[in-house]
Structure 1
Amino acid sequence: MYTYIYDAALTDKKYSNALNKIEGKLTDLGLSGRICRLSPLRNLRDVVSDELRRLPETIVVVGGDSLLIQVIALLKGSPIPLAIIPLGESIKLANSFGITEDTAAQVLSARRIIAIDGGSADGRFFLKKALVIGDDLRIIVDDNYSVRPNKQDSVEVFNFLNDDEDCCLPDRPHPQSGKLCLVISRRDNSFLGKSRLVDQTMISCKHLEVIGEAVSGILDDSLELRQLNLFDCVPSAFNLIVGKQRNF
């Protein structure tokens, strides 16, 4: 059985027509299942925990990037396939997976499943990237050597990059490589107030240790960690349903 987790924002009437259309397609394709509608009284952690005990055939997130990222963090490497029907605000991840609102039902029916790596930041899973914040940083790479970013540098740890993202690296981080990518970027500000990428360094690695003052982080642009120390690649952490037009 399929489990559909609906974002709480989808109760807004402006999504009614789109939801009815999607649900009609799912019914026509024989993909009906259990619907879990999130609300202030229905906690996502409890919903995911309950549904994992039911062992559904697939967990389908109906919503945007934020809900998908939260569900991924709660799945913690479960082998149950995960899919998304993009609806609402911010659906860049779904686009990366080759899924649109119009094609989601067909993609779900086709069940093109791939295993992708995940990132772990002090045991917290992330799908795409982690931003590292801190002063006087020293980063130990694979217990082998260390690098020291400059104070003005941006420090990120990537599991993957979209094809359309700003990047001057010869090899883009890929979520099936078995490695994370430490990316150190330097930008300058033009007189028009826009930043320009002037230098970028990528280091492929399986493990990172971050040492510095007041080290914190942001996972997948949404989850803040007040303390941050260790990064690891978790190979084949998630089974993801994707479309033909995925861009990684």
Structure 2
Amino acid sequence: MYCYVYDEFLQDRRYERDLSLIETRLTDLGIAGKIARLALFRDSHELIRDEIRNGATTIVAVGNDRTLRRALDAVGDTKTVVALLPVGPQGVLAGLLGMPVGVLSCDVLSARIIEELDCGEVNGRRFVQSVRSEDASFVARTKNYTLTPLKKSSFEVRNLAEPDDAGTQSPVDGRLSLIIRSTRFGLLGKRQDVSIVPFQEMMVLFEKMTEVMVDGESLPGKDFAFRVIPKALRLVTGRTRKF
């Protein structure tokens, strides 16, 4: 049974036509379901958990990256299938997962290609994409080695991200990647060095209290424990997914 969780921003009248087209197409495809609407003073975690207890087997986050993250947080370890049905301005997850914006995503949802993706965890908080901090002094430790950058560097732990100068990280390989970027100056000007370290568990210890961004949300602290949770997420993806 499908449950469609509408983000609160979709109450804006500008989305009425898009939602009407989507609801009609879902009915045509035979995958219409209950609609649950998020609201400012409504606990999204409890709302989604209640729907799962009432028999929902697929939670469809209708909205954007934030909507999907809230759905994934609520689903937790239940192994319930989750999908993103993108409406309105998007971040990067729609493209990474191969989900087109608007009514076209209904057909992708109907095809029901389900991938089991890894999830990252930092200090007990799960993340889909990455954790990052800029210009920090830190030490990274695993059971086998210790890494100490010689100068302040930008720090990122990735699970899923768009390809860039650090290449492509796979969310299905059972590992996270620590990416360290540092700038050095030479005769030819400024140059950025990039180091990539795959791992399963790691402690990152900062020199002083700092703030890292976990999928775009702030998490303050000084010591951060990372681990990968293999195949923790069951997500509907399209054929154009980027992993």
TM-score by length of 1: 0.88
Name the structure 1 match of 2:125.
124
- Is the aligned partner of 1:203 residue 2:197? yes
Q: Is the 8 A contact 2:156 2:180 kept in 1?
A: yes
Deviation readout 1:35-56 (Å, 9 max, x if unpaired): 1111123221221221232231
Partner of 1:239: 234
Which amino acid is 1:210 matched to? V
1:78–1:237 CA contact under 8 A, matched in 2: no
Matched residues, number: 236
Quickly say closer, same or farther: Cα 1:123–1:55, change in 2 above 3 A: farther
Normalising by structure 2, what TM-score?
0.90
The separation in 2 between residues aligned to 1:25 and 1:91, in whole angstroms, is: 24
What is the aligned partner in structure 1 of residue 224 from structure 2?
229
Letter in 2 for 1:173: Q
AA partner of residue 106 (structure 2): A
Please give the secondary structure, in 2, of the residue aligned with 1:49. Answer: helix
Post-superposition offset of 1:152: 3.3
Deviation sequence 1:126-176 (CA, Å, 0-9, x none): 0011114685311103x111112354311000002223xx3244xx21000
Distance in 1 (CA, whole Å) between partners of 2:77 and 2:144 is 27
| More moved, 130-139 vs 119-128 | 130-139
Q: CA deviation at 1:103?
A: 2.3
Unaligned runs of 5+ in 2: none
- What are the residue-to-residue correspondences of 1:1-248 with 2, within 5 Å? 1-100=1-100, 101-132=102-133, 135-141=136-142, 143-163=143-163, 166-169=164-167, 172-187=168-183, 198-212=192-206, 213-221=208-216, 223-227=217-221, 228-248=223-243
CA offsets, 1:15-74, max 9 Å, x none?
111111111100111111111111123221221221232231200000001111222223
Aligned residue type for 2:149? P
Query: Residue 78 of structure 1 aligns to a residue in which SS?
Result: coil
Q: In the aligned structure 1, how far is the partner of 2:76 from the partner of 2:33?
A: 23
Conserved? CA contact 2:137–2:152, under 8 Å: no
Counterpart CA distance in 1 for 2:104 and 2:191 is: 35
Q: Cα–Cα, structure 1 residues 134 and 47, in superposed 2: closer, same or farther, change >3 Å?
A: farther
Q: Distance in 2 between matches of 1:25 and 1:187?
A: 51
RMSD across aligned positions (CA): 2.0
Cα separation, 2, equivalents of 1:243 and 1:185: 32
